Amino acid sequence: MHVLVLGGTTEARRLAELLAAALPEDVRVTSSLAGRVASLRLPPGEVRVGGFGGADGLAAWLRTHQVDALIDATHPFAGTISFNAAKAAAATHVPLLALRRPGWVPGRGDDWHPVGSLEEAARALPALGRRVFLTTGRMGLAAFAGLDALWFLMRSVDAPEPPYPARMEVLLDRGPFTAEGERELIRRHRLDVLVTKDSGGAATAPKLAAAREAGIPVVVVRRPPVPEGGAVADTPERALAWLRGADSGRTRAQPSG
């Protein structure tokens, strides 16, 4: 059995680890990364890097490499690849599972401002604060470039490229983050508003608790749409259980000798 995991997330790496430890030797796992970050965190098993060339390219890859199951474990904001995965799986009849971490939900004392895009987040900011903790990643910073009256602490894995806000300090870092560390950043830089995508997951959630404690508002960018229907798992462990089912179904379907 050959499993292709579309990755770039903590969950995808965790699934590759589970697969390496739990599945028999005749199961081959390939993780696919877009190659956006300079220092890749490689999962166990085989790894390929770079785009496929759209849904048709992905379908061709599935056929050429005789893939038996496809897992879309990409980030909730990676909308294009998820639709490509759904199209390619339908065209090749390869079983597809989407591994999607649940979104965050506001708790007691949270002051959340949901928005539909980075542009909408930028429009909301001047009414909410002056010193912004910007954690939406290095892509799409152009949306905030015109906000000259605001100061930004922008955190990302790799350095951003212009256009970006004129008054911005860049903090290169990668999760998981701690509540203590986030609290300290808010205090030291006197941050008075947080901007985040609704990425979900534990690794970057401590900023939300720190914002609540500090009593500062949070602009939350809602998730883009995902393909409708199809199998979905919310944890790597459940994805593994789905794969076991797919594998035993496949074994049963093979003609006996």
Contact pattern for ligand NAP over residues 97 through 136, marking x by CB under 6 A: ----------------------------------------
Instruction: Kindly state whether residue 156 participates in binding ligand NAP, applying the rule CB under 6 A.
Output: no
Q: Which stretch binds ligand NAP (CB under 6 A): 2-10, 117-125, 171-179, 187-195?
A: 2-10
Instruction: Kindly state whether residue 47 participates in binding ligand NAP, applying the rule CB under 6 A.
Output: no
CA angle 130-133-134, nearest 5°? 110
> Least CB distance from residue 240 to ligand NAP, whole Å?
19
Q: Which stretch binds ligand NAP (CB under 6 A): 50-58, 98-106, 107-115, 186-194?
A: 50-58
Measured from the CB atom, the residue of 131 and 235 that comes closer to ligand NAP is: 235
* C-alpha gyration radius of the chain: 20
Distance from C-alpha of 95 to C-alpha of 106, rounded to nearest angstrom:
34
Instruction: Kindly state whether residue 207 participates in binding ligand NAP, applying the rule CB under 6 A.
Output: no
Selected from 57, 106, 146, 249, the binder of ligand NAP by CB under 6 A is: 57
The verdict on whether omega for the bond into residue 176 sits within 30 degrees of 0, i.e. cis, is yes
Considering only the C-alpha atoms of the chain, give the largest distance between any 2 of them, rounded to a whole number of Å.
74
Task: Count CB-CB contacts under 10 A for residue 250.
Answer: 13
Q: How far is CA 183 from CA 53, 151, 156, 191, 231, in A?
A: 42, 18, 17, 10, 38
Distance from C-alpha of 240 to C-alpha of 238, rounded to nearest angstrom:
5
Selected from 1, 18, 23, 34, the binder of ligand NAP by CB under 6 A is: 34
Instruction: Kindly state whether residue 53 participates in binding ligand NAP, applying the rule CB under 6 A.
Output: yes
Measured from the CB atom, the residue of 40 and 166 that comes closer to ligand NAP is: 40
How many residues bind to ligand NAP according to rule CB under 6 A?
24
Order the strands of the 193-197 sheet from edge to edge. Answer: 112-115, 218-221, 193-197, 131-134, 151-156, 168-172
Q: Which stretch binds ligand NAP (CB under 6 A): 18-26, 70-78, 91-99, 210-218?
A: 70-78
β-pairing, 151-156 with 168-172?
parallel
179-198 residues near ligand NAP, rule: CB under 6 A = 197
Selected from 75, 100, 138, 212, the binder of ligand NAP by CB under 6 A is: 75
Q: Give yes or no for a contact between 196 and 220, defined as CB atoms under 8 angstroms apart.
A: yes
| Site residues for ligand NAP per CB under 6 A | 6-9, 32-34, 36, 51-54, 57-58, 74-75, 77-81, 84, 137, 197
